[in-house]
Amino acid sequence: MNDSSNEQYIAHYNRKQEAIESILGPSAGVVGHAMIPFRVLAGMTIGQVDMHYFPNHTEGTGFTTMELINTDGTGPKPNKKGTYELVAFTKQPFNDINQDPPTAFNLMERRMCDNFTQIAAAAQEKVFNPYEICGIRGSDGEVRYIIFDVYREFEVDGHRHHLLLCMEIFEEELATVENFGHKGFLEMLKMIKIYPYSDLDRNWVGIKK
């Protein structure tokens, strides 16, 4: 990247951060930089996404990516609402990202980074629409289920984008989704104050027979 394109990238990055902070409030002021930068080459993922933290929006902490939308407004394969960065939430309060031993927040942060990285890689070729559910295999080898939603929309340099919520749910909740529909299930989670959090230290939501 030459000096001119590097300056353009930094300026666009700053405007994108300002747009996201207008939604989620000030960021934590630190970035969880990946040791190996995120890249998708020849269909294979290299490295992990950087993690950005937002402790001032709601109870707990929000996480976002900042690497998916390019300076020309393109990004992951557009869904019905266009291009996006990813967002997720935990009820755990923000703390030092290098805490030793790791806290509940640190464990959730690594889990969300794993989820984001896999989704970001797949999104180069696959469309992820709001209300859809995808299954990914975590670094622990277990299948995780992610339901998507448009969390908020924002604009950078005249291009409309959105934060695509990646909310992890239980496998046991898939039957509830089938009964109530994807949108209906999310509305249910909003009513009982589970939405938009990915924490699974809760009871799964379903119909008791």
**Which tens digit of pLDDT belongs to each residue from 136-149?**
998 888 999 999 99
Tell me whether residue 199 is in a domain. no
Number of domain units in the chain? 1
User: pTM of the predicted model, to two decimals?
Assistant: 0.94
29-81 pLDDT, tens digit per residue, is 899 999 888 876 656 667 899 999 999 999 999 999 999 999 999 989 999 99
pLDDT of residue 38: 85
* Residue 197 covered by a domain: no
**Domain presence at residue 208:** no
User: Is the N-terminal amide bond of 101 cis, ω within 30° of 0?
Assistant: yes
- Kindly give, in sequence order, each residue whose CB lies less than 8 Å from that of residue 87, ignoring residues fewer than 6 positions away: 24, 62, 63, 64, 151, 163, 164, 165, 166
Residue 44 or 187, more confident? 187
Average pLDDT, the chain: 92
Q: Is 41 part of any domain?
A: yes
pLDDT at 195: 98
Structural domain of residue 68, as residue ranges?
A: 3-191
In a domain, 135, yes or no: yes
* Residue 196: inside a domain: no
The Cα 189–Cα 137 span in angstroms is: 24
Domain contains 148: yes
**pLDDT tens sequence across 154-173:** 999 999 999 999 999 999 99
Tell me whether residue 45 is in a domain. Answer: yes
